[in-house]
Structure 1
Amino acid sequence: MTLNKTAIAVLTALPFFSLAAEPTSKNNAIETIEVKGELLPTPESKAANSLQVLTQESLEQSGASHLQDALQQLGNVNFAAGASRARFIQIRGIGERSQFVDPINPSVGMAIDGIDYSGIGTAAGLFDIGQVEVYKGPQGSSVGANAMAGFINMYSTQPQENAANRFRVEAGNYGLFNVGIAAGTEFNSDVQGRFSLNQLTSDGFVENKTLNKDDTNDINELSFRGLLDVEFNNEVTSQFVLHYFDIDNGYDAFSLDQDRTTLSDEPGEDKQETLALGVNTTYTGFENTDLTVMLSHSDSDLAYGYDEDWTFVGIHEDGYSSTDNYMRDRVANQADIRFVSKDKSWVAGVYFQSKDVDLTREYTWLSNNFVSNYEQTNAAIYGEKRYALTNDINISAGLRIENHDGDYSDSNLVNESTSDTMIGGHLTATKQYDENTMVYTRLSRGFKSGGANGEALSKLNEPGLERYYNLLRENGSFDPEVLNNVELGMRYNNTDRGVKASAVVFYSSRHDMQIKQWFTNEAEVRELGEQPEFVGYVSNTPNGANYGVETNIQYQLNQNVSVFAGVSLLSTEIDDMYRLETDPETWEDVRVNINGREQAHAPSYQYQLGFNWQVADRITWNTSINGRDEYYYSFSHDEKSQAINLVNMSVTYQGDNFDVTLWGRNLGDKDYGVRGFYFGNDPRDGWVAKSYEQLGEPSVFGLKLDVLF
């Protein structure tokens, strides 16, 4: 899709059209939110950044239990499944879509209570999450290499917020059962705490005909989050964080018949067990500055695997049987030390992170298990300065210099080291037209480090892949990617009128784009009867562009009805990219130029439209429609998803000490893909290459009871 000037002008002006409406009440205040993902304290209405905040109330209305359930509410945000949960997220068309052998440096970072969960978002459950902040565009100053495309910042309900204690029980179709408790207390005037414990189970949306089971793609997730705030004296305060996640999900999602029935005889799994500790300490005893020290440690055991043939033994005389399993042990440590001026006008800090990831791959066609180790060390210095140029014009500038050192080794005697020093930051100008209206211009730069293609290197001497030797050797490693971004934005927040609106126009230029590509030995399978090989690797292509518009508005029509809407447009391009394809007639490998094609997982439009209606004194009705355009699944083929429009609804009854919510998502029961591949995997039709999709959730509904105490 190409954005024309008229469309940009209309959508940028969308929020202003609603501002002329006469308010029906002067008491329609919209909640003031302070965001925590900026380096300096910032109200959402003053954030010179493309940002959407999901409050606890909005998450509860949709029945969302995991971050993936809420992503449909966000403009220019998409996700790829390929596992039990959508742990891979794309913002403005940029982001990874899977992980198999090789370590990845995510384009979209994620933190929960200040602890890094980038790339392992299965843990992103939403029970007792107080706020989700989604930053769009490079966050090169505040986050660095894990946020070239954007950043998702999740915070538990805080102890000092005096939130109600809550016991929840929830049931729904497809075997959904959810039980949880969240409670806080003040031990004394200096010590406050809050914890949440949640168990979520579901059978999933797949029926396995081979095993005669309906829970091979099930959800089984236990989560615990605890916070303890301690004021040691007038100058020292700390927050201690404890997380424990035990996730034991099934993975049986792809069907040869392109429906919700599978034929696997060895269904896969998607597991995560994480123990994480963190402490955030602030010292205010210096005369001109405050010192904040943030430390965290996390240890995660991850297991992901699947039935590669998707079938049972004996389905066809040409069939094969194979499983592929990946077990990772991920240990991460981070330290962030920063000084903040008393007037909150500047910040300067240093950051350190180390990750040690051990992988064991159990694969049918390997004579021995494949083992690899990846050690990564990041070190950065960063800072930001905000300056009032006049009473209504402010300038801010941020800079981050970050070094990544990576050491990769594996059981195939592959050793590869990388070292990248990268620079990111932003220069931003804001003008406050009046107490309600702020406009800004932001120039920003983000980056992500390079790395090693261990899978490609490990296949150099693989039988049946001899003719791919040069391709694999040339793609043994890849370079860093840089994203330069310019955006013009507006925020309007009028509590008297009950109006909150934002609009952003952006243009991002990608340099040395990191592209995940795949090839399979189709010719050898057909001509020589070799076993199928699917080899993935990351390469760099010279340039790409991502540009578009993002708008959002909330408006309180009267004391009982509020409406909300958001429209986002996105146009993406690839410059001078080639991929390897097999000619279906000659079975020769050919290089195909896809210059100018749209990027993967980048729908050209997304929208949300809905309302909240206080039907009676205790009854609230919420309805929303979410939609997005079709998009390419990958760079290695041209298969697309479907355009979708999803209807969601909830009705809540608020009692004196309890809430009851009846909710439903995808009420039209639309089938739509959330991950897609293109290859031959069905022996019944002679291994003809075709598109295979993992389907998103069908029509789901549930009844939720919250007892408040």
Structure 2
Amino acid sequence: MKLSIVALATLSVLATPFSVVAAKEKNSNSDIETIEVKGELIKTPANKIANSLQVLTTEALEKSGASHLESVLQQLGNVNFASGASRARFIQVRGIGERSQFVDPINPSVGMSIDGIDYSGIGTAAGLFDVEQVEVFKGPQGTNAGANAMAGFVNILSTQPSSNANNKLRVEVGNYGLFNVGLAAGTNISKKAAARVAISKLSADGYIENTHLNRDDTNNIDELSMRALVDIAATKDLDLQLVLHHFDIDNGYDAFSLDQNRTTLSDEPGRDTQKTTAFGLNAKFTGYESVNIGVATSVSNSDMEYGYDEDWAYVGIHPDEYSSTDYYLRDRSADQFDIRVSDKQNQWVGGLYIQQRDVDLTRQYTWLSEDFASQYEQDNIALYGEHRYTLAKDITLSAGVRIENNKGEYTDSNAVSNDTSETMIGGHLTATKQASKSTVHYVRLSRGFKSGGVNGEALARVGEPGLERFNQDLLNSGSFEPEILNNIELGTRYYNRKQGLKASSVLFYSSRHDMQVKQWFTNDKEVVNSNEQPIFVGYISNAPSGSNYGLESNLQWQATGDFEVLAGFSWLSSQVDNMYRLETDPITWEDVRVSIDGREQAHAPSYQYQLGFNWQIADRIKWHATLNGRDGYFYSFSHDQEADKVNLVNTSITYQGDFFDVTLWARNLTDQDYGVRGFYFGNDPRDGYTAKTWEQLGEPRVIGLRVDVLF
């Protein structure tokens, strides 16, 4: 495998000079799609963008039968995810990103937007039915997205009313009880207005069998998604777009097994739900002689419930058992306002961004005498701008800056109160050289940031029975500082429509300062020695520094009129500096301070790859297949347990009719078991609560048949 990976890396990095010759010899008339990137301040064709970016179009998303963003993330270089829920809502880019959220509010390192509305940290809503494209930016996006995009940014765009996309009725069935039905339709309402609406209902039993309850749907999927866009030409100079979202997600959560397989013993399975309603209004005025004015505003409200059977078992499993559940009910509201001014020549833009976000939490936990409640209010205001300068006929310089102030107010039912206020600066300086009609080189210096905050749970639990020995550490962990990420990239893009070739490669180095790291206090030795209930106190600390550097490369080559090659390789080296953690010695049961200086960061696999093809094997039949793989990686900073390496085969065959398409698809064709979230502690009374690795497994072999009726 190592030899093949090295070969693939060499092919991707050297794709430009090699494939130009090959494509020229075999296919001089082929054509590939031109994509416009919309997630930057100044819209740019993907082949000319001076940023590390991968774009997934509708066709690419649907070939693997993907109904949710989590199903396609493994196709992307240096992108990983953590589940610990019904969906993988936490994304890591280049090894940076959150892996969970429990009591305390978090500030995401990887932002997410759907049709311009902020969904950072609540990615359960990232369904893919009737999505036009997904843009995944890697590295700091401090100018265009700000504090929610220190490590990267995911921009999801629905199919636009003005597009030429077909109306379609979808019916899809598959194993594990998969049933999916959807309707997407667009129409002209009048001469000046057009609309497109997409509605889908997805259900599945999940990949778990609960043998105690004799059920196979305790980890089920039940998701309703509705998105609507309305374009209005209000006047000759004023265009409006209305955006409406409604998501009703009622998923189960019963994923961790005491027997470390796909069978569980829970007597009180958990839930993972989200109900979101969001409304947006975008306006563009072009009536002035020299500038355009754009205004984007949105409001959204999300009610979420996340909880689980903490003991993963039933009452009566063992004399030393415990039984508890833990539920987190969040009410999240967010309002956004963004006004920007740009020139007619698409050379500069400047704007003002305001966001207010409130999150109310109620925790219902067996071991609490009464429910815990907290309120976190955030106010962000930012000034931003970008300018592109033409230094020579073939050299462009782009400079962007964002100055953002973040204010937070935290209060909770334990009488903890904390206010924060931080002003942070991000941006980029990018030089681009058009080396030839087909080749662009660039160097990019960028800076991203993420605000600090308060560890309310740590402060509230000072002096709690079972945690007395941690009192000083809990006090010292009451808050954490902002994190800064400085980054440099050297990139090359090659794009030739005639020769049917796209290729890119990026080298990057990122330096993390006051690196935010999730850690835990636990009373594990008391649980074993005294049969007490387990106590886990999560908190965020600042490690002095860390570094992340590596390579990202991709190739898309139309080798012949009927056969297209896809290849990608990424390599990542990461480490954390001057960091310690508390551990309990398994022999002496003493708390010891352990250095992990120089260790790899969590959820940061050292390599990932993709190799695949699209083959038009007959006039109406197309075959798609990919092999995706990644190296193992550490699950956490609080322990050294690792996920295994994994190689996944995905494939699909599509019949394209005049009025319908039929697709037979399969993911994880070889049925590999692999982890998507991992913990290390004792939780099984049958073996004396011996500490071990617990993994939530990713999807097994899944097969589906999809029919799209086009009209």
Q: TM-score range by the shorter chain?
A: over 0.9
Alpha-carbon distance, 1:568 to partner: 0.3
CA distance in 2, matches of 1:15, 1:511: 35
User: Among 437, 441, 444, which residue is 1:442 paired with?
Assistant: 444
Is the 8 Å Cα contact of residues 564 and 609 (structure 1) preserved in structure 2?
A: yes
Question: Counterpart of 2:431 in structure 1: which amino acid?
Answer: A
Is the 8 Å Cα contact of residues 8 and 549 (structure 1) preserved in structure 2?
A: no
1:577 aligns with 2:579: yes
- Give deviations 1:30-61, integer Å, cap 9, x for gaps: 10000100001100001000000000001111
1:20 aligns with 2:21: yes
CA distance in 2, matches of 1:519, 1:696: 28
1:599 aligns with 2:601: yes
- Give deviations 1:135-188, integer Å, cap 9, x for gaps: 000000000000000000000000000210000000000000000000000112
1:294-443 aligned within 5 A: 294-443=296-445
Is the 8 Å Cα contact of residues 138 and 149 (structure 1) preserved in structure 2?
A: yes
1:218 aligns with 2:220: yes
Question: Counterpart of 2:326 in structure 1: which amino acid?
Answer: D
1:464-543 aligned within 5 A: 464-543=466-545
The equivalent residue for 1:649 is 651
Question: Counterpart of 2:626 in structure 1: which amino acid?
Answer: S
CA distance in 2, matches of 1:525, 1:117: 38
CA distance in 2, matches of 1:15, 1:402: 39
Is the 8 Å Cα contact of residues 23 and 498 (structure 1) preserved in structure 2?
A: no
Summarize the Cα distance change of 1:215–1:89 in structure 2 as closer, same or farther, 3 Å threshold.
same
Secondary structure at 1:20's aligned position in 2?
Answer: helix
Is the 8 Å Cα contact of residues 514 and 539 (structure 1) preserved in structure 2?
A: yes
Alpha-carbon distance, 1:521 to partner: 0.5
Is the 8 Å Cα contact of residues 35 and 133 (structure 1) preserved in structure 2?
A: yes
Alpha-carbon distance, 1:394 to partner: 0.2
The equivalent residue for 1:98 is 100
CA distance in 1, matches of 2:7, 2:32: 31
Alpha-carbon distance, 1:529 to partner: 3.0
Is the 8 Å Cα contact of residues 12 and 567 (structure 2) preserved in structure 1?
A: no
Secondary structure at 2:634's aligned position in 1?
Answer: coil
Secondary structure at 1:286's aligned position in 2?
Answer: coil
Is the 8 Å Cα contact of residues 23 and 557 (structure 1) preserved in structure 2?
A: no
CA distance in 1, matches of 2:8, 2:89: 32
CA distance in 2, matches of 1:209, 1:433: 63
CA distance in 2, matches of 1:540, 1:568: 28
Question: Counterpart of 1:256 in structure 2: which amino acid?
Answer: L
Secondary structure at 1:19's aligned position in 2?
Answer: helix
The equivalent residue for 2:138 is 136
CA distance in 2, matches of 1:86, 1:657: 35
CA distance in 1, matches of 2:140, 2:474: 31
Question: Counterpart of 2:602 in structure 1: which amino acid?
Answer: A
- Give deviations 1:51-105, integer Å, cap 9, x for gaps: 0000000111110000000111100000000000000000000000000001010
Alpha-carbon distance, 1:527 to partner: 2.7
- Give deviations 1:295-317, integer Å, cap 9, x for gaps: 00000000000000000001000
The equivalent residue for 1:553 is 555
Alpha-carbon distance, 1:9 to partner: 7.6
Moved more, 570-579 or 514-523: 514-523
- Give deviations 1:543-591, integer Å, cap 9, x for gaps: 0000000000011111110011000000001100000000111111111
Alpha-carbon distance, 1:683 to partner: 0.4
CA distance in 2, matches of 1:581, 1:629: 26
Is the 8 Å Cα contact of residues 630 and 646 (structure 2) preserved in structure 1?
A: yes
CA distance in 2, matches of 1:117, 1:526: 41
CA distance in 2, matches of 1:583, 1:118: 38
User: Among 581, 585, 588, which residue is 1:586 paired with?
Assistant: 588
- Give deviations 1:405-434, integer Å, cap 9, x for gaps: 000000000001111110000000000011
- Give deviations 1:336-393, integer Å, cap 9, x for gaps: 1100111110000000000110000000000000000000000000000001101100
Is the 8 Å Cα contact of residues 12 and 503 (structure 2) preserved in structure 1?
A: no
Is the 8 Å Cα contact of residues 320 and 531 (structure 2) preserved in structure 1?
A: no
User: Among 247, 257, 260, which residue is 1:258 paired with?
Assistant: 260
The equivalent residue for 2:74 is 72
User: Among 619, 622, 629, which residue is 1:620 paired with?
Assistant: 622
Alpha-carbon distance, 1:6 to partner: 12
Alpha-carbon distance, 1:7 to partner: 11
Moved more, 508-517 or 16-25: 16-25
CA distance in 2, matches of 1:366, 1:188: 58
Question: Counterpart of 2:334 in structure 1: which amino acid?
Answer: A
Alpha-carbon distance, 1:16 to partner: 3.2
CA distance in 2, matches of 1:539, 1:249: 32
Between the two proteins, the alignment pairs up a number of residues equal to 707
CA distance in 1, matches of 2:649, 2:557: 20
Alpha-carbon distance, 1:8 to partner: 8.3
Alpha-carbon distance, 1:220 to partner: 0.1
Secondary structure at 2:26's aligned position in 1?
Answer: coil
1:229 aligns with 2:231: yes
Is the 8 Å Cα contact of residues 245 and 279 (structure 2) preserved in structure 1?
A: yes
Question: Counterpart of 1:702 in structure 2: which amino acid?
Answer: G
Secondary structure at 2:74's aligned position in 1?
Answer: helix
The equivalent residue for 1:88 is 90
Structure 2's unaligned 5+ residue stretches are none
Given the two structures, how large is their TM-score scaled by the length of structure 1? 0.99
CA distance in 1, matches of 2:508, 2:105: 30
Moved more, 526-535 or 99-108: 526-535
Question: Counterpart of 2:627 in structure 1: which amino acid?
Answer: I
Q: CA RMSD in A?
A: 1.4
Moved more, 585-594 or 170-179: 585-594
User: Among 138, 157, 160, which residue is 2:159 paired with?
Assistant: 157
Is the 8 Å Cα contact of residues 12 and 549 (structure 1) preserved in structure 2?
A: no
Question: Counterpart of 1:435 in structure 2: which amino acid?
Answer: K
Is the 8 Å Cα contact of residues 450 and 483 (structure 2) preserved in structure 1?
A: yes
CA distance in 2, matches of 1:169, 1:490: 41
Alpha-carbon distance, 1:530 to partner: 2.1
- Give deviations 1:629-675, integer Å, cap 9, x for gaps: 00000000000001000001100001110000000000000000000
Alpha-carbon distance, 1:23 to partner: 3.8
Question: Counterpart of 2:173 in structure 1: which amino acid?
Answer: A
1:32 aligns with 2:34: yes
Is the 8 Å Cα contact of residues 520 and 538 (structure 2) preserved in structure 1?
A: yes
Question: Counterpart of 2:528 in structure 1: which amino acid?
Answer: R
Question: Counterpart of 2:33 in structure 1: which amino acid?
Answer: E
Question: Counterpart of 2:331 in structure 1: which amino acid?
Answer: D
The alignment-based identity, stated in percent, is 65
User: Among 157, 164, 178, which residue is 1:176 paired with?
Assistant: 178
CA distance in 2, matches of 1:175, 1:132: 27
The equivalent residue for 1:691 is 693
Question: Counterpart of 1:159 in structure 2: which amino acid?
Answer: P
The equivalent residue for 1:680 is 682
CA distance in 2, matches of 1:182, 1:61: 18
Structure 1's unaligned 5+ residue stretches are none
1:271-310 aligned within 5 A: 271-310=273-312
